[in-house]
Structure 1
């Protein structure tokens, strides 16, 4: 029994890193570099395009990760974008769970993105038509100039920022850089490990990516010139991912507005924070693999094929419930729980409709800046994005049953 559980822990560590984690890292590097080169430009275009802001917000939300969506949140408080734009951005974004889908089921990612994009735009314009944002802005508590100056003067600045969506010393700066959790303190052990050890981590990802590609071609990666190389890199990569996540002090939330700005300023910061993001996603994927494998082990009383068949049957019979669960999990701010849910979909544990409901409902890390600035607005944003998630999820679920799609 103990040996079986230990085998599950180690095999899950190897498979999660080599089958998903390394591909997530590769995709993150690509999009991280694109964001580094273009951060801020798209945000400025949105500010100057009042009539099509929800469309542009939805486009920005579609970009994998939370960086683009994070930048939009302060613009609402400044009155530069509509609340419908905020809603459209949040509906379209899948946060870090997008990287899992892209790496494993790219066709499903495209389908989810297209549906989310359409729902995002429609919902965004409906919200603006009823002027929900105007009411929220009118009731929003503002700090006086004296209060802003007092807080800003007492602040200990570690970095010189190129701010996106706000200015140095304004109430957004106070909320996102002085009151909310931001970048790691320079003197902490976590900062030193993550900022000096990120190249070692990328080494694991690079070697693991080669092995992961070999796995796709059905090659035995544990019987090469170096015996058990797959186990060494897979288990080691997961272990290092967990260490990186703990040292980064990231558990539910992966990206902050402050870190998103730092990534736009420096390629090195982009590499460092993308390593942390890869570690974050890889760790949560590993948790999902453990949940899946242990569930099969328990249900099948140690017989894998029996457990897998019983679990599949259970998921099919509880599909409608899974749609509601997917939408409700989307209510949780941060990317961790969302990564688990999406990974379970890739393992066949939840129907496509549940994945779609979760994708529409979830706000990823993008909700945290709005939560730090105005809780009432963030609450309304969460509620509004969940409504179309449940409606569309249920519609697709019944279509799924009828035609057997996805």
Structure 2
């Protein structure tokens, strides 16, 4: 009878232990290699101030609107009309994976056409969209536009070839997705929101290329804004650690019934931020330890860079795609490779698709490679 209380007592201690080990590692890193610690600290700070704050704002607006408009949106998605494909593509083009997962869920429940599934997987860029949007908004709009048009055209073509009912399931699988969503630790969630307020102010100043450290006068030499960003990144990691690994699929399945808006924004901002941090660190540490000139290496690949970007898009999840976007932002791969990967990758939406409709997920992923290669090769030869 007391098993649940015992587990609930053990779990926070496990979370605290992992956070303590992380802090201890960073402390000893600071002592052993101050230069490497400075690199890690500045990278985490850049990830929080340059990406995480914009993720939080975007998710808050998107989920607030979704909670108010969900019934009308679901009705539009379920209509067997010519607008189903573009509506699905529009949802996929939204930053993150929330809109794409809505479409995947509706397809699995037998409501959406296979062409709509292909359209949303082509149009979505996943969590890498937040990174590109925060760093190069004009480029992000270009990538969104090309991916959206490509998704709509491909969706209509697939429906014309296979028909509206191709690979559709007649079963309603919504019940099988019912899973309890764990609550965030209240103090952790509150601290996250409190830190997000000054973080947003300083992040916006940094986005406009203003040195916000100068606001602290003689204390500016201590880089207080960088330390705040570093603390924010560590907080994102702490929130991610506090959640079971299988809780994210439960959150995705319950997108249309968000009960705790603040907790949802905090949890998913942290989840995406961890991937962004991993992408940033992967690049910086690779260059630090190897001294490789990745730009020269990929330049020698020539057109094979496009094939690499498309194949990388086959990998489920957003981590590899964030790494490639990081490479693009650092001038390592061309815009054409970024476009090819944006069209090819399916983000986190591929996980529920593989679990619930593996045949459709595999075929839709392979179909997305065709327009990805076409767009990538054409733009590469145009000098993009």
Distance 1:281 1:66 in 2: 10
Distance 1:380 1:122 in 2: 17
Mapped pair 1:219 → 2:211: yes
Deviation at 1:299, TM superposition (A): 4.6
Partner of 2:24: none
Partner of 1:167: none
Distance 1:250 1:322 in 2: 33
Partner of 2:284: 293
* Count of aligned pairs: 349
Tell me which stretches of 4 or more aligned residues in structure 1 moved more than 3 Å.
Answer: 132-135, 182-185, 225-228, 249-257
Q: Unpaired segments of 5 or more residues in structure 2? A: 1-31
Q: Any idea what the Cα deviations from partners look like across 1:82-101, whole Å, max 9, x if unmatched? A: 11011111111112222222
Partner of 1:64: 95
Partner of 1:50: 81
SS in 1 for 2:82: helix
Partner of 2:295: 312
Structure 2 length-normalised TM: 0.82
Specify whether residues 398 and 79 from structure 1 end up closer, same or farther in structure 2 by C-alpha distance, changes over 3 A only.
same
- Within the candidate set 11, 35, 49, 1:18 is matched to 49
- Within the candidate set 229, 251, 264, 2:224 is matched to 229
Specify whether residues 213 and 73 from structure 1 end up closer, same or farther in structure 2 by C-alpha distance, changes over 3 A only.
closer
Matches within 5 A, 1:5-404: 5-131=36-162, 134-137=165-168, 171-177=172-178, 182-185=179-182, 191-193=183-185, 195-215=186-206, 216-221=208-213, 224=216, 227-250=222-245, 256-263=251-258, 266=259, 269-300=260-291, 310-400=293-383
CA contact (8 A) 2:108 2:172 kept: no
Specify whether residues 285 and 79 from structure 1 end up closer, same or farther in structure 2 by C-alpha distance, changes over 3 A only.
closer
RMSD of aligned Cα (Å): 2.6
Structure 1 length-normalised TM: 0.78
Specify whether residues 19 and 81 from structure 1 end up closer, same or farther in structure 2 by C-alpha distance, changes over 3 A only.
closer
Distance 1:348 1:205 in 2: 30
Deviation at 1:183, TM superposition (A): 4.3
Specify whether residues 255 and 290 from structure 1 end up closer, same or farther in structure 2 by C-alpha distance, changes over 3 A only.
farther
Deviation at 1:241, TM superposition (A): 0.8
Distance 2:302 2:244 in 1: 35
SS in 2 for 1:248: coil
Deviation at 1:279, TM superposition (A): 1.2
